[in-house]
Amino acid sequence: MQVTALRSYRCYHYPKTPYGRPVASETGVLPFVQVRASSATRAMEKAAAVTGCVIDRAERLEGGVA
């Protein structure tokens, strides 16, 4: 059994309207959630499950930032 270390990721997402459609950001600043996952792909999957929104990107947080 291989143990994979979890890392912290910040996942930026597009918020939704009350009707469930994604909203483009006029300022270019997107809200984010932080998740712990083994990879960026897995982090984006977790963030999508938590927020129910379209995920733009995931950035790995280095060091003690979390």
What residues contact 25, with CB distance under 8 A and at least 6 apart?
A: 14
| C-beta of residue 30 within 8 angstroms of C-beta of residue 12 | yes
3-class DSSP state of 16: strand
Residue 8, in any domain of the structure: no
pLDDT per position as a tens digit, 26-40: 777 899 999 999 999
Owning domain of residue 32? 13-60
Q: How far apart are CA 40 and CA 24, in angstroms?
A: 22
Give me the torsion for CA of 25, 45, 37, 3, rounded to 10°. -170
Quote the pTM value. 0.80
Minimum mean pLDDT among 9-13, 19-23, 31-35, 48-52: which range?
Answer: 19-23
Residue 3, in any domain of the structure: no
Q: Domains in the chain: how many in total?
A: 1
